């Protein structure tokens, strides 16, 4: 018996001899790494609670031996890093980047190839990636599959959208992991371009909650020169494995050493707010690439957009079924009478922007080619510089300048990426020549060259190419239908916005689920800001287009809250000026709310149910609070203890009226003013699909407080 015990002990010591452990700076997050029969395996725990159970790592290569097994540890290096950096814009004025790092150099005996696994353990999670140093036996190689596993410790509740190589524009489904397979078919709703992956594949950022109250998020950071990662669930063993987006040939990535993959991220916490406030995604990206960032500024804008989305107006100048750039003579065509991007109408938007202090006006549909732009697999679809006859570029440039308003460019590519790159320098120079300093780009429809996907390596490289090229011209970019953000806005802060999720436009295409904006901050927004385009005050879309019976699933009060809860340095007041003029008292909040912040707090949060943020405006004493609610009636209770002690403020509360409801009475709101200080508390009912917004302005003198009730 004694001999058996000694043998078992020897086996135990042998199998654990190479185990490496690394804890976070506060000691609560613990990484364990081991080689099991030559296979890299890691696990992660928070306060001893399993976040990731033992999970395998490795890459499968095309026409070469796989990088999955047969490894030994050649070298280990442990370091600590701690810095505080200042983003050009953001949810806080400073960000701490503090982690402990484990660098493992692995050697594959059969091929003599080396691979480095780099782990960074933060107080709120983990980032890891594969690195390939310069070596003779591994130079050019093609990734056939990445087999990074994320083994769950239970059948968690997940907030997910279907895995898809072409779109993220889905409503979220909330279910147990074990229920994903049965719900997948109903979760895949129609889109202009979509390529669903499988019955159990979902997209990152994936948000989960365990039965015992831990919150877990899986995502990636610094996606460059590689394809976008999805997650395939083995629903028998509750193990996620990475699924990359292929190219037209079915290959996942083409690499040349020395190189590295994007970071795979795991964020975890005992509170939902831990996920919302995590900066892991940004911290795993490189510092700002620009020495001078004076030209990068947050933007609050209006635009000729919602009237086209609802069908009230059109992008196209004519109703011709077919046009050819350079051949179709628009001066000889018959206008359709519904074209929105005309000089007179755009001036009305410029006037509205100037009157209310907005920075810019977005104009879509200004350029030739919109008659047959979509679904034709048309290569030469736009040239990005030739306006329709009713759009006077020079006149509008002068008019906007006289009103101290910028015009925002629109570049729709219709997925014809080769055509866009051919015209990119000319298009950006055209912007510079006509005083445009920001562009909304779009990638609607299937990608050309045909067979490529929106999220493959080829397109990932294009998005970054267009962004860096924009930087050469000092242009800010808001890319729609692009790959989801992964924190690249730290390196390239001229990426001031992305869509890359189901935004407000879908409210005119049948409506988003009321819980949508209670989930997006836990998922899509972890990678970077979203151009969600909030501010819809007319929920009945048929008021704009009698043929469109869509309903915006929100109250007006919640639309105001979205300017706080849906973080972006690029915020649009998306509704029509005439509608805002009917609710000018509520519109005041949109005018007042900041779009750049010194500090952000999460006062209440539960994914799928509600979120309440408090944010302090950049270089200001003013605070703003926003609460977004799901379809249930709920009561929010917050304290104002984040305010400076012994200072009095005026709080203007924009709230749902008692009888408000997102379906039956969405326009019912109340506006109340109070005197508040750091000891004040608020108990506020939130209607189904509702919420509230609060502006908290420091009182400059006692006279401002006269007649106001103390809260």
Q: Phi and psi for 286 in degrees, rounded to 5?
A: -75, 155
Nearest to 490 by CA among 696, 296, 246, 709: 296
Q: Is the CB of residue 570 less than 8 Å from the CB of residue 525?
A: no
Choosing from 146, 169, 364, 505, the catalytic residue is: 505
Residue 122: name the closest of 271, 266, 19 by CA.
Answer: 266
CA 527-237-525 angle, to 5 degrees, is 10
Q: Are 336 and 317 in contact (CB under 8 A)?
A: yes
Q: Are the beta carbons of 369 and 264 closer than 8 angstroms?
A: no
Question: What token pair was written down for 298?
Answer: 């947050």
Is residue 619 within 8 A of residue 86, CB to CB? The reply is no
At residue 166, the 3 state secondary structure works out as coil
Q: Computed from CA positions of residues 549, 610, 190, 362, in that sequence, does the dihedral angle turn out positive or negative? A: positive
Going by C-beta distance under 8 Å and a sequence separation of 6 or more, which residues neighbour residue 13?
none
Length reported for the chain: 711
Tell which phi-psi region holds residue 315, choosing left (phi > 0), alpha (psi between -120 and 50) or beta. alpha
146 noted as active-site residue: no
Q: How many CB atoms lie within 10 A of CB 3?
A: 7
Q: Which residues contact 525 (CB under 8 A, 6 or more apart)?
A: 566, 567
Beta strands 59-61 and 140-146 are: antiparallel
d(CA 518, CA 514): 8
Distance CA 35, CA 562 (A): 47
| CB-based contact 408:360 (threshold 8 Å) | yes
What burial letters (b/e) apply to 482-506, b meaning 16+ CB within 10 Å? bbbbbbbbbbbbbbbbbbbbbbbbb
Distance CA 699, CA 647 (A): 8
In angstroms, the CA 611 to CA 638 distance is: 12
**Measured between alpha carbons, how far is 353 from 587 in angstroms, rounded to an integer?**
13
- Give the residue from 546, 542, 480, 478 showing the smallest Cα distance to 511: 542
**What amino acid positions are annotated as catalytic residues?**
505
């Amino acid at each position: 018996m004694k001999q058996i015990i000694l043998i078992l002990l020897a086996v135990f010591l042998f199998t654990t001899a190479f185990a490496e452990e690394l804890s976070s700076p506060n000691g609560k997050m613990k990484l364990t790494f081991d080689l099991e029969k030559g296979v890299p395996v890691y696990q992660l725990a928070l306060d001893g609670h399993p976040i990731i159970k033992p999970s395998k790592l490795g890459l499968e290569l095309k026409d070469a031996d796989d990088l999955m097994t047969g490894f030994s540890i050649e070298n280990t290096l442990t370091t600590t890093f701690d810095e505080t950096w200042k983003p050009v814009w953001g949810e806080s004025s400073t960000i701490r980047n503090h982690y402990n790092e484990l660098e493992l150099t692995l050697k594959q005996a059969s091929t003599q190839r080396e691979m480095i696994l780099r782990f960074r353990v933060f107080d709120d999670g983990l980032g890891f990636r594969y690195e390939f140093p310069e070596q003779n036996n591994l130079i050019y190689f093609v990734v056939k599959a990445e087999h990074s596993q994320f083994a769950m410790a239970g059948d968690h509740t997940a907030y997910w959208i279907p895995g898809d190589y072409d779109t993220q524009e889905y409503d979220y489904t909330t279910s147990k992991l074990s229920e994903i397979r049965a719900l997948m078919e109903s979760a895949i709703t129609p889109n202009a371009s979509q390529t669903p992956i499988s019955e159990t594949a979902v997209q990152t950022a994936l948000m989960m909650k365990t039965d015992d109250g831990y919150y877990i998020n899986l995502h990636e950071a610094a996606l460059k020169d590689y394809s976008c990662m999805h997650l395939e669930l083995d629903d028998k063993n509750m193990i996620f494995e990475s699924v990359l987006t292929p190219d037209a040939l079915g290959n996942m990535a083409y690499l040349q050493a020395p190189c590295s993959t994007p970071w795979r991220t795991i964020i975890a916490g005992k509170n939902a707010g831990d996920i919302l406030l995590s900066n892991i995604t940004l911290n795993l990206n490189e510092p700002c690439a620009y020495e001078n960032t004076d030209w990068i500024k947050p933007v609050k804008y209006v635009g000729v957009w919602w009237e086209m989305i609802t069908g009230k107006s059109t992008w196209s100048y004519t109703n011709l079924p077919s046009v050819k750039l350079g051949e179709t003579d628009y001066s000889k065509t018959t206008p359709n009478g519904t074209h929105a991007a005309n000089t007179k109408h755009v001036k009305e938007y410029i006037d509205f922007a100037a009157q209310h202090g907005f920075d810019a006006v977005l104009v879509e549909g200004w350029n030739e080619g919109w008659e047959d732009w979509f679904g034709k697999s048309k290569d030469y679809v736009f040239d990005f510089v030739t306006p329709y006859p009713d759009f006077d570029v020079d006149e509008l440039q002068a008019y906007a300048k006289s009103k101290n308003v910028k015009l925002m460019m629109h570049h729709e590519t219709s997925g014809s990426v080769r055509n866009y790159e051919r015209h990119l320098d000319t298009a950006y120079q055209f912007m510079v020549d006509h005083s445009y300093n920001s562009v909304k780009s779009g990638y609607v429809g299937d990608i050309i060259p045909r067979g490529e996907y929106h999220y493959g390596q080829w397109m990932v490289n294009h998005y970054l190419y267009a962004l860096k090229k924009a930087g050469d011209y000092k242009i800010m970019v808001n890319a729609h239908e692009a790959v989801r953000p992964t924190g690249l806005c730290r390196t390239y802060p001229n990426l001031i916005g992305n869509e890359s999720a189901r935004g407000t436009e879908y409210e005119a295409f049948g409506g988003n689920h009321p819980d949508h904006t209670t989930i997006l901050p836990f998922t899509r927004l972890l990678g970077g800001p979203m151009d969600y385009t909030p501010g819809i005050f007319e929920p009945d879309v048929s008021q704009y287009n009698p043929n469109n019976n869509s309903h915006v699933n929100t109250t007006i009060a919640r639309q105001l809250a979205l300017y706080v809860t849906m973080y972006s340095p690029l915020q649009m007041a998306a509704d029509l000026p005439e509608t805002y003029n009917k609710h000018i008292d509520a519109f005041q909040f949109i005018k007042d709310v900041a779009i750049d912040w010194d500090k952000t707090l999460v006062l209440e949060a539960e994914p799928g149910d509600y979120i309440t943020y408090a944010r302090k405006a950049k270089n200001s004493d003013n605070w703003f609070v926003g609460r977004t609610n799901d379809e249930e009636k709920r009561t929010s209770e917050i304290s104002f203890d984040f305010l400076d002690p012994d200072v009095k403020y005026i709080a203007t509360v924009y709230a749902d009226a008692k009888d408000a409801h997102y379906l039956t009475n969405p326009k019912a709101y109340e506006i109340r003013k109070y005197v508040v200080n750091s000891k004040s508390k608020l108990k506020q009912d939130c209607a189904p699909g509702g919420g509230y917004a609060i502006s908290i302005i420091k009182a400059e003198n006692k006279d401002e407080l006269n007649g106001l009730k103390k809260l």
